[in-house]
Amino acid sequence: MSQYGFYTTYTHEGGGFDLAGLWYAKRKSGRAIVTDLVACHECDMLFHRDDIPPGARADCTRCGGELYRNIPKSLDRSLALYISTLIFMIIANFYPFITMQTSGIEATSLVFSGGLQLYEFGMEELGMVVFLTSILFPFICVTGVIYLLVPARFGHLPPLFGPVYRAVRVFETWSLLSVFMLGTLIAIVKLQSLATVNPGLGMVGFVLMLISYSAARANFDPEVLWQYCRVKQLAHNEVNAKEKVVTCHTCGLLRPDRPDLHRCERCSDSMHHRRTRSVQKTWAYLMAAAIMLVPANIYPVMTFKQLGLGSPDTILSGVLKLMSEGLFGLAFIVLFASIVVPLLKLTALSYLLYSVSNKSDWRPRDRTLLYRMTQLVGAWSMVDVFLVGLLSGLVSFGLLATIEPGIGATFFCAAVILTIMAAHTFDPRLIWDNTTLDENGYPPPQQEEAVTLEIVGTHR
Distance CA 140, CA 162 (A): 15
33-41, 85-93, 387-395, 452-460 -> range binding Zn ion (CB under 5 A): 33-41
The residues near 298 (Cβ < 8 Å, ≥ 6 apart) are: 314, 408
- Give the shortest CB-267-to-Zn ion separation in angstroms: 3
- Measured from the CB atom, the residue of 12 and 62 that comes closer to Zn ion is 62
52-60, 122-130, 399-407, 437-445 -> range binding Zn ion (CB under 5 A): 52-60
- Give the shortest CB-372-to-Zn ion separation in angstroms: 11
CA 99, 102, 103 angle in degrees (round to 5)?
Answer: 145
Contact call for residue 345 and Zn ion (CB under 5 A):
no
Contact call for residue 60 and Zn ion (CB under 5 A):
yes
- Measured from the CB atom, the residue of 75 and 254 that comes closer to Zn ion is 254
- Measured from the CB atom, the residue of 77 and 424 that comes closer to Zn ion is 424
CA nearest to 52, candidates 10, 80, 86, 1: 10
Contact call for residue 63 and Zn ion (CB under 5 A):
yes
Region 242-271 residues binding Zn ion, contact defined as CB under 5 A = 248, 250-251, 253, 264, 266-267, 269
105-113, 206-214, 240-248, 412-420 -> range binding Zn ion (CB under 5 A): 240-248
Contact call for residue 65 and Zn ion (CB under 5 A):
yes
Region 266-305 residues binding Zn ion, contact defined as CB under 5 A = 266-267, 269
- Measured from the CB atom, the residue of 101 and 434 that comes closer to Zn ion is 434
25-33, 39-47, 198-206, 333-341 -> range binding Zn ion (CB under 5 A): 39-47
- Give the shortest CB-65-to-Zn ion separation in angstroms: 4
Backbone angles phi, psi at 20, to 5 degrees: -80, -5
- Measured from the CB atom, the residue of 272 and 281 that comes closer to Zn ion is 272
- Measured from the CB atom, the residue of 67 and 334 that comes closer to Zn ion is 67
- Give the shortest CB-40-to-Zn ion separation in angstroms: 3
- Measured from the CB atom, the residue of 111 and 246 that comes closer to Zn ion is 246
Region 126-145 residues binding Zn ion, contact defined as CB under 5 A = none
Three-class HEC string of the chain: CCCCCEEEEECCCCCCECCCCCECCCCCCCEEEHHHEEECCCCCCEEECCCCCCCEEEECCCCCCEEEECCCCHHHHHHHHHHHHHHHHHHHHHCCCEEEEECCEEEEECHHHHHHHHHHCCCHHHHHHHHHHHHHHHHHHHHHHHHHHHHHHCCCCCCCHHHHHHHHHHHHHCCCHHHHHHHHHHHHHHHCCCCEEEECHHHHHHHHHHHHHHHHHHHCCCHHHHCCCHHHHCCCCEEECCCCEEECCCCCCEEECCHHHCECCCCCCECCCCCCCHHHHHHHHHHHHHHHHHHHHHCCCEEEEECCECCEECHHHHHHHHHHCCCHHHHHHHHHHHHHHHHHHHHHHHHHHHHHHCCCCCCHHHHHHHHHHHHHHHHHHHHHHHHHHHHHHHCECCCCEEEEECHHHHHHHHHHHHHHHHHHHCCCHHHHCCCCCCCCCCCCHHHHHCEEEEEEEECC
Contact call for residue 43 and Zn ion (CB under 5 A):
yes
Contact call for residue 148 and Zn ion (CB under 5 A):
no
- Give the shortest CB-269-to-Zn ion separation in angstroms: 5
32-40, 180-188, 220-228, 437-445 -> range binding Zn ion (CB under 5 A): 32-40
- Give the shortest CB-73-to-Zn ion separation in angstroms: 25
- Measured from the CB atom, the residue of 38 and 416 that comes closer to Zn ion is 38
- Give the shortest CB-162-to-Zn ion separation in angstroms: 7
61-69, 82-90, 237-245, 436-444 -> range binding Zn ion (CB under 5 A): 61-69
CB burial of residue 44 (10 Å; 0-12, 13-18, 19+) = buried
Residue in 48, 62, 275, 367 binding Zn ion, rule: CB under 5 A: 62
- Measured from the CB atom, the residue of 248 and 301 that comes closer to Zn ion is 248
- Give the shortest CB-248-to-Zn ion separation in angstroms: 3
28-36, 56-64, 318-326, 443-451 -> range binding Zn ion (CB under 5 A): 56-64
- Measured from the CB atom, the residue of 261 and 407 that comes closer to Zn ion is 261
Q: How many CB atoms lie within 10 A of CB 273?
A: 17
Contact call for residue 229 and Zn ion (CB under 5 A):
no
Q: How many residues form the binding site for Zn ion (CB under 5 A)?
A: 16
Distance CA 132, CA 127 (A): 9
- Give the shortest CB-42-to-Zn ion separation in angstroms: 5
Contact call for residue 157 and Zn ion (CB under 5 A):
no
Distance CA 37, CA 136 (A): 36
Q: What residues line the site for Zn ion (CB under 5 A)?
A: 40, 42-43, 45, 60, 62-63, 65, 248, 250-251, 253, 264, 266-267, 269
